[in-house]
Structure 1
Amino acid sequence: MRRALLAITGLAASTTALVVFKAAPGTGQPAQEAPTAAEGPAPAAGSDETTPRASTAPESTRSASGASRSGSSGAPGTPAASRTGTAAAPPTASTLVGPVVSNEFGDVQVRITVVGDRIVNAAAQRLPRGTAQSDQRSDQVDSRYSGAVGMVVERQSADLDTISGATATSDAYRRSLQAAIDQRR
């Protein structure tokens, strides 16, 4: 069980790091790739083209979002001038840890990862362990609240549904989480 928790936490942390580093300017990606013949010639150096060209690339070269994979490396619909490094640096990720909150079953502590104003990951640092019943309660709380797709990231707050049968652990998780969220303000 601990291996699974560590694997999930590691996956979430590496995914967060990948997203942060992928979005960072100057990470080695070219500012603009050469257009395909179907897209027409590239704008001249120094031109101030501010509207993206419509891609006439075949449907097979389009991603699921409909944007051509062979076009510029920036986000679809973003003007070329803002993708060349003149845009502001993306927000950095920060990790905030809530206090240890004790209840009758044990201690609970929550860590969140924040990028800009968004919570991108939540993880329980400590949960009550020791008996089969406390392990089960802790696993239920952790699986519903934690992770990059858990309820914390979904709701962006400590306003979480109580886990039936794990009320004390749920309440302790929310209190530690709220304290971590309050640190970013």
Structure 2
Amino acid sequence: MHALNKNRPLRRVLLASATTVSGIVLLLALKPHTGPTVVTDSAAPAPSGSASAAPEASSGTGGSTKSSGGSTKGTGTKTVTGDTVQTRWGPVQVKVTIKGGRITDVTAVQYPTENPRDQQINSYAVPQLRSEALAAQSADIDTVSGATYTSDGYQQSLQSALDSAGL
């Protein structure tokens, strides 16, 4: 006699339920082989995150804190740090190096690194945003898919740095 005999509908229901529950348990127990690998930009220093440096408090309703400081070297190189922009997932701040009126380097000083997902997203988003800014020579850069909040904060901080530098 066959196990799924039509004369025994309760047996079919129990078997189907057990199979479904087993499948869900196996799916939820599935773990990735390795954790996300964080790729850091060699020109960028380690991000200033939640534990090492407390983000500056936001004043007013603008959502960003003015903390731009510039230093001019004897060779005509100017380094300007943009505003700290508070995003949904954490603060974003960039530092821009300008030489001869051109952006020569953009470094993310702060960006969200609270959890492994933030680290995974920003490990590919920050280098893309940097290369976009260097190519565009402005803050008019594309948003990185999957990192919308970081991209918006990066653009705002970059624009504030460029404004402070007079570009």
- Whether the 8 Å contact between 1:137 and 1:169 is mirrored in structure 2 is no
Name the structure 1 match of 2:145.
164
Q: For residues 115-134 of structure 1, what are the structure 2 equivalents within 5 Å?
A: 115-134=99-118
Deviation, structure 1 residue 141: 2.1
Q: Between Structure 1 and Structure 2, whose CA radius of gyration is higher?
A: 2
What RMSD, in angstroms, separates the aligned Cα atoms of the two structures? Answer: 2.1
Question: What is the distance in 2 between the residues matched to 1:152 and 1:166?
Answer: 16
Query: Would you tell me which structure has more strand in proportion to its own residues?
Result: 2
The 1:2–1:135 alpha-carbon spacing in structure 2 relative to 1, beyond 3 Å, is: closer
Question: What is the distance in 2 between the residues matched to 1:117 and 1:152?
Answer: 14
Three-state SS of the structure 2 residue aligned to 1:168 is helix
Structure 2: segments with no counterpart, 5+ residues = 1-36, 46-73
Identity value in percent:
32
Three-state SS of the structure 2 residue aligned to 1:174 is helix
Task: Give yes or no for the alignment of 1:173 onto 2:154.
Answer: yes
Deviation, structure 1 residue 134: 1.1
Q: Which has the higher contact order (CA 8 A, sep 6+)?
A: 2
TM-score (normalizing by structure 2): 0.56
Name the structure 1 match of 2:97.
113
Q: For residues 9-48 of structure 1, what are the structure 2 equivalents within 5 Å?
A: 9=44
Q: 1:153 aligns with which of 134, 137, 141?
A: 134
Name the structure 1 match of 2:79.
95
Three-state SS of the structure 1 residue aligned to 2:109 is strand
Deviation, structure 1 residue 4: 3.9
Structure 1: segments with no counterpart, 5+ residues = 11-89
TM-score (normalizing by structure 1): 0.51
Question: What is the distance in 2 between the residues matched to 1:166 and 1:151?
Answer: 14
Question: What is the distance in 1 between the residues matched to 2:75 and 2:102?
Answer: 10
> What letter is aligned with 1:180?
A
Give CA deviations for 1:136-166 in whole Å, capped at 9, x if unaligned.
Answer: 22222211022xxx11111000011111011
- Whether the 8 Å contact between 2:38 and 2:120 is mirrored in structure 1 is no
